[in-house]
Amino acid sequence: MQWGYSGVMAVVDPVGYPLFIRLVGHPLRWRLLTELARSDLRVRELVDRVDEPQNLVSYHLRVLRNGGLVSATQSSFDGRDSYYHLDLDQCATGLAAAANSLHPSLNVSPEQSPPPSMEKEVARPSVLFVCSGNSARSPLAEAVMRRRAGDRVRVSSAGTRPKDRIHPHAERVLREQYGIDIGGQIPRPLDLGSDGGFDQVVTLCDRAREEVSGSTGRHTLVHWSVTDPTGAADGDKKGSYRRFLAAAADIDSRVRHLLPTLSADTTRSISHE
């Protein structure tokens, strides 16, 4: 059977069995999805985490990619590696379609399932976004997170090798698409010693991930392998801005899915104190 979703997760087989359920119903594929729901990972890291042979892991990753749930991008740090990313929006759409196909009373959609509120939380979760230059991806993530969470989350960003200024296209995207003005903000250097106390440190570029991976502390390390929008040729001004639009949309989607996990993690932390 072909696993072509083409972004439409309501596809069912001839007997009405949702293909989304068939995709995620395999135990190993579910374990892979569970790991990728937390962070973008490479094949060898998934092999270690699920403790299965690489050829088997690669096969099931290929099935998930063909089904439209998982994508792969070449590492910008080591071109021989690829990072796998779980499309949570596609998962939400597929889950909703499966519920609807079971019974009309289960007519739900991703838009009808907002993230749980953090208004009753005792402690504010905290997130530090990190990329190499702190000029594009990490300030985009910081601004979008602050817009979505307000003062419910303590958020900042930093760079392992900070540039002199925020990229103009990052400022423009935030201003025009999200109504956010970060004029006057300058890239900040990363110092996990003084920047400690963050619950999660999220790296958004593959080089930063390698540089931060050996750090210690109580924070949880999460990786988002977001394509560098500054990689366009200097003369390709229009194309470069399109890449910033794409990067911002990718980051916004990831931030939206991160917020409920911050709320849940904080609740668990408080309950165990």
What is the per-residue pLDDT across 234-265, written as a single tens digit (0 to 9) for each? Answer: 555 555 899 999 999 999 999 999 998 886 55
**Tokens 């910008």 belong to which residue?**
76
Q: Which of 58, 87, 112 is the last residue of a domain?
A: 112
Question: Residues 152, 121: contact at Cβ < 8 Å?
Answer: yes
- Statement to judge: residues 141 and 73 lie in one domain: no
Tokens of 7: 């972004």
pLDDT score at 110 = 56
Q: Reduced to 3 states, what is the DSSP secondary structure of residue 71?
A: strand
**Tokens 């560098």 belong to which residue?**
228
pLDDT score at 154 = 93
Is 49 within a domain? Answer: yes
What is the per-residue pLDDT across 53-106, written as a single tens digit (0 to 9) for each? Answer: 999 999 999 999 999 999 999 998 888 899 999 999 999 999 888 888 888 788
215 has pLDDT over 80: no
Say which amino acid occupies 217: G
What is the per-residue pLDDT across 198-208, written as a single tens digit (0 to 9) for each? Answer: 889 999 999 99
- Statement to judge: residues 61 and 130 lie in one domain: no
Tokens of 216: 């210690």
Residue 233 vs residue 158, higher pLDDT: 158
Question: Residues 60, 29: contact at Cβ < 8 Å?
Answer: yes
pLDDT score at 101 = 82
- Statement to judge: residues 140 and 232 lie in one domain: yes
Q: How many domains does the chain have?
A: 2
Mean pLDDT, residues 227-232 taken together: 83
- Statement to judge: residues 105 and 146 lie in one domain: no
In 3D space, the residue among 227, 264, 263 whose CA is nearest the CA of residue 247 turns out to be 227
pLDDT score at 97 = 86
Is 9 within a domain? Answer: no
Is 6 within a domain? Answer: no
- Statement to judge: residues 145 and 267 lie in one domain: yes
pLDDT score at 13 = 56
Packed helices 27-36 and 54-66: angle between N→C axes, nearest 10 degrees:
80
Which helix or strand (DSSP H or E) is residue 271 part of? Answer: helix 237-271
What is the per-residue pLDDT across 125-183, written as a single tens digit (0 to 9) for each? Answer: 999 999 999 999 999 999 999 999 999 999 999 999 999 999 999 999 999 999 999 98
pLDDT score at 111 = 55
Which helix or strand (DSSP H or E) is residue 22 part of? Answer: helix 19-24
Burial of 210 (0-12, 13-18, 19+ CB in 10 A): middle
pLDDT score at 264 = 57
pLDDT score at 103 = 82
- Statement to judge: residues 97 and 191 lie in one domain: no
Which helix or strand (DSSP H or E) is residue 84 part of? Answer: strand 82-86
DSSP-derived pairing of the beta strands 126-131 and 82-86: unpaired
pLDDT score at 231 = 76
For residue 69, the domain's CATH number is 1.10.10.10
pLDDT grade for 217, boundaries at 50, 70 and 90: low
DSSP-derived pairing of the beta strands 70-74 and 126-131: unpaired
Is 48 within a domain? Answer: yes
Dihedral sign of CA atoms 207, 208, 213, 214 in order = positive
**Cβ neighbours of residue 79 under 8 Å, at least 6 residues apart?**
none
- Statement to judge: residues 130 and 73 lie in one domain: no
pLDDT score at 232 = 52
* Angstrom distance (rounded) from CA 173 to CA 182: 11
Does the pTM of the predicted model rise above 0.85?
no
- Statement to judge: residues 106 and 130 lie in one domain: no
pLDDT grade for 186, boundaries at 50, 70 and 90: very high
Q: Which of 112, 145, 176 is the last residue of a domain?
A: 112
Out of 19-23, 110-114, 124-128, which region has the weakest mean confidence (pLDDT)? 110-114
Q: Reduced to 3 states, what is the DSSP secondary structure of residue 33?
A: helix
- Statement to judge: residues 247 and 164 lie in one domain: yes
For residue 205, the domain's CATH number is 3.40.50.2300
Q: Which of 89, 112, 135 is the last residue of a domain?
A: 112
- Statement to judge: residues 161 and 227 lie in one domain: yes
Domain interval for residue 213? 126-271
- Statement to judge: residues 60 and 176 lie in one domain: no
pLDDT grade for 18, boundaries at 50, 70 and 90: confident
